[in-house]
Structure formats: C-alpha cells, structure tokens
Amino acid sequence: MKRSQFGRVLAFALCAMLTLGMFAPASLADGAYRVLYAAEVTTLNYLVTTTTNEYSIAANFIDTLIEYDRYGVVKPGLAESWEVSDDNLTWTFHLRKGAQWVDGSGKPVAEVTSADFVAAAKYILNAQNASSSANVLYDVIEGALDYYNGTATPDEGVEPAPATEWETVGIAAPDAYTLQYKLITPVPYFLSMTTYVSFMPVYEPFLLEKGETFGLSTGNDTLLYCGAYYLSEFKPNEKRELRKNTSNWDADNVFIEAIQYTYNKEASTVSPELFLRGEVDEAGFDSAVAAEWLADPAKSELIRPVRQTGFFSYFYAFNFDPQFDAVYEPENWKLAANSENFRKTIYYALDRYNSQAVFDPANPESIIHNTITPPAFVSLGGLDYTQIGDLDSITALGLNTFNEEKALEYRDAAKAELEAAGATFPIKILFPYNPVVTGWADECVVVEQHLESLLGADFIDLIVEAGPSSGFLSEVRRSGKYALLKCNWGPDYADPQTFTDPFDYDNSYNFLDKGLTQADENGSIAEQYYALVAAAKAETGDLTARYEAFAKAEAFFINHAIVVPLGYGEAGYVGTRIDPFEGQYASFGISPYRFKGQHLLDAPMSTDQYFDAYDAWQDARDALAEQ
C-alpha cells in the first residue's frame, strides 16, 4: 500500500532540515557509513563463531560460493556454476578464476581456490578447534561426523572414537577450481546452506602460519579477506573500519567506500542525538525516543521502520540446568522448570502485546508470532509452514496467547504440585538482560511487573539483573546463569530443521537434554521430542512429509511449553542513510548483513519513503516469481 508520493515526502524532509537545521550530514568525501557500536566481538575467527555480532562482520569480508540478490534470487558468488548428481548426493561447484585473498591493507596475497574450502572444512571438523558450526557440516556431509568424533577428546573414562582419515570425508578439490561435496542423504536445502559460515573458505598457508592466533580479535592482521570489504583497521573497544576491496571479483557492485564503526558503551543512548547532528549515519531508537521523534513533524521524516530480515526468532527459554549462584536457589528452580504446569503458567501469563510494545508501541502485533519458526520463512504449495500439520492449530490461536484464566488455573496446579515436591515459594526467577541492547531492560521490567501482579509476588519473584555489556552470551546464556532468558535464533538455511538446531543435544540455549527430567506415560518428554526431530530429519524424499514431521516436532515442543515463542524481536524505528531494499535478501544465513549493492542516501530514509521502496521491491519480486 502506497503511503504518499515520494516527491512530496522528500520535499517536506528537505524543507524541514533547511528550516530547523536538525540534520546536516558531515562531508562524505570518502563515502563512509558511520555507526556506533557498544558490544565488541570476542573473535574474528569466522570458522568457529555462530554469533550474529561476529558473523555479520565476516559476511562482508569473506565471500561464499553463491549469493542472493536483492530479491532473494540465487546468483553466482565465488562459484560461477554448479550442478548436482542424479541421485542428489554429489554437488559440484566450479569456481571463478582470479578471485583474490588480500591482507589488511588490501594488498593481494593469493588466489582463492577450491583447496581453501577444503582447508576451512577440515579446521571446522577438528573438534579441538571448538567450532560452533561443525554440526552444520557433519549433519549432512558423508564421513564428517566420524572424522569429527575421531578428533574429539573423550570424557574421563570414555573410550575415544577411532580416528579416520580426511579422505573419508565427502569434501574434495579435484582441481584448483572444482569443489565437491558428497552428502549422507539428499538435502533439499543444501544450496542455501552454502551461504553460511560453515562453508566459507580460508587460505591454508596463512591459517597454518598464524596457528592459535588466527582470527584473534586483536587487530586486522590475524585474517586474510576475499569479500567485498577488508578490515582495514581494528582497535578493540575503540574502532574498526571495513574498506572496499578493490581486488574483489565483484568490486563494481560495491558502492559504499568504507564502514566506520566507533565504540561507545552508551551507543544506544547517544546515537539518536549524534544522528540528528549528522555525526553518525545510523541510530536505533527505543520506544520512548521513537515516539518523541514521530510526534515531531521534522524529526519524523528522518526515521523509518526496521525491516524484518533474516527472520530471527525470539523466545523465552527456561533453563533446565541452572548454574547460577546459590542465592537464586538453583535447585528450587529446577523443580519449577520441570513442572509443565509451572511452564504453562508462564506461557499463558505472558502478555506479549504488553512486553513488545516496548519496541513498537503503535503496532506490537507486527513483531509477534506464536511459533518458533517465523511465518513466511518457507512455504509448500503456497501454504506457509506455520499452517502445516500440527502447527496449524497453534497458528490459529492468534498472535497473543495471553490467557489470564488459564494462567491462574495452571498456577494453582503448579503450586500444589511443587509444594508436594518440596519447593519453596516464591519461586526465584533470575531474569537477566544485555544492557547494550536497546529496550531489553525496559521489556524485562514490564514482564516482571505484569507476571508478579497477575500471579502474585508470593508465587514468583522475577529478579531482573543486567548482565555484562561484553561477552553476554558467553557469561550468561552459554554458562547457564539464568532461569528465564529471552534468546534468539537466526536460520542458517532454508528448511524448518534449522529452527530445531538450538535445542539439539548438548545445547547452550535451554540445556534440555541435561536437565529436563519430566516424563509422561510415553516416557521422557525430552527424548520424545528428539525422536520426533530425528524422524523429520530422516524424511528427505517427500517434502510434504518432511514439513509435516517438523511441524509435529515443533508443536510438541510448544504444547509442552519447553520454550515460550515471542516473535521477531526486532522492531521499532531506525535512522539510517541506507535503503534496506538494495542489499542482498534471504530469510536465512548471512545475506542480510552484507553492505554490497547498497548506496549511501543523500538524506535519511523516511517512513513514507520506506513503504514506497517496500512496495516497489515487492512488486518487482512478485513479477520475478511469475516469470
């Protein structure tokens, strides 16, 4: 739906800026896009990380075999062409010649070859390197799991797995420009996987030379680069700069000369004012500041809605294996987390309209969904995945599952059950947040006040605490130092399986396999869920049966309130001099984080301009789909 004519909006915005002097962009002779950031990366090693804050940077300095254009259409990347065997088990990629590795000054070092992809995979599949993305490879590549297990150090008293030779792994480079992957079974979504960090290359001589210092977050000299940008400068907790790689094979489609990041631990607070003064080119807004700007005729023309890209899914996770201090009563929390009545109390008591209004007070329903897999992620025969099989009844409930009557009913049942189990009340719920994420603290307070008011402060005690501003994931979520935590997961490839990955065995999201001891007449709840996922993964020939099987597993997960789905988690407004519809588009992987293809706008994009651009993008995408 068109919001207004572009010319009228632009004229008004220019008039407002000239009249009030509210936005005067600094000189951009070097074509730099300037951003503040508050959380430093813990590593530059893209072969080990699956953290968005880290791989979003790597997305710009390491190219992949394929790419997606602005409409989500597959196009060649480092591979010029590819084909799959008749049995759908062997994928062969033909690399372009002349692609270059460059150093931190942009100087060419070596040519990118197929051996670089093999070297990267070998590094990832060495368990000693502790890569968070190893499972992406060993779940699908022939021989990869045996190789990985053979490199792992076994637990005390456990026999080590037999070592296997690399040649048994289905990743090979027959020549310098040919790369082959042999799969365990057909993988319908395999091509989409190749845009993820697990399939990025590395120059092996440099990797071996650097050893344990490869990818350390100490400077720009610990990596080589083959993407649209290289890391020209990096001073931790001070600044970093991505500069256009003129040696890149597709440099003609890189229009922004540099991305300049300046560290400021108060970035979320000070960015709006610096943006207004033209000192930075991007700023996020919490609900209070956004409301203030939207009420101002001039300021309102300088911000636009956040575009939903990457389809991150947010959910509240119950920690089944708490590792927090005794003062928060971890053993008492274990009893509560293992009570389905208690979990359903929280599930029905959470008012997501109320909590998400922190991020979008005018339209909170736009960022809420009640499944783990977001709507519009994948579809089958025109039917959205969230409307397939057992998920359809959950989707049909509507966006907000808040139900006061059910919440109180489950509370009473949980109280009786937990009293009988020896629990003490109120149940302490350690509820941490990352202080550098705009709005998260306010959201926690809203949730705390609502839940304690509805359920009674004598039943629960939500303890809202700030976690560290740097290393939050390591210190809090991965260390199990929470009872209830808002978590997220971004899809790595175009298949529902990707949204089961965070809950797999030995996960660091809710420690399901370590601490959920609940069982029913059919046995362990955790094992029932894992059996449903395994059955879905095994279905590779019939896409309808596959999607229905994953829908059954996800519905089981939600119906037992193992997590509480929340929504997209990204909303509100942003001030920026970038058109989000020019960049690469995909609902998974790293594409949405790339600056390639984008231009700097002369002035910030307004809301009306945003919706006009969205309409034009959607029309063009629909036209492509009809061809």
Q: What are the tens digits of pLDDT across the range 163-185? A: 999 999 999 999 999 999 999 99
> Higher confidence at residue 618 or residue 282?
282
Sequence length of the chain is: 627
Q: Are 345 and 527 in contact (CB under 8 A)?
A: no
CA angle (571, 71, 598) in 5-degree steps: 70
Separation CA 309–CA 374 (nearest Å): 11
- How would you classify the pairing of strands 573-576 and 282-285? antiparallel
Compute the average pLDDT of residues 400-409: 94
CA angle (431, 437, 443) in 5-degree steps: 45
pLDDT at 10: 32
Reading the block at residue 79, the tokens are 């591979």
Assess whether pLDDT exceeds 70 at residue 293. yes
Whole-number average pLDDT of the chain: 91
Considering the chain, what percentage of its residues have pLDDT values greater than 90?
78
Domains of the chain and any CATH numbers: 6-29+244-306+572-626 (3.40.190), 52-225 (3.90.76.10), 313-567 (3.10.105.10)
Q: Using the 8-state DSSP alphabet, how is residue 104 labeled? A: T
pLDDT digits (tens, 9 = 90+) for 120-134: 999 999 999 999 999
Reading the block at residue 416, the tokens are 């009786």
pLDDT at 310: 59
Residue 303: closest CA among 262, 271, 344, 261: 271
Query: Which pTM value belongs to this model?
Result: 0.78
Secondary structure (DSSP) of 452-473: HHHH-TTTEEEEEEE--SSSHI
Convert 368-395 into a string of H (helix), E (strand) and C (coil).
ECCCCCCCCCCEECCEEHHHCCCHHHHH
Separation CA 500–CA 491 (nearest Å): 10
Residue 280: closest CA among 260, 299, 296: 260
Return the residue matching tokens 């710009």: 60
Any idea of the CA torsion for 492, 498, 502, 507, to the nearest 10 degrees?
-100
Beta strand extents in 293-386 (DSSP E only) = 304-305, 313-318, 379-380, 383-384
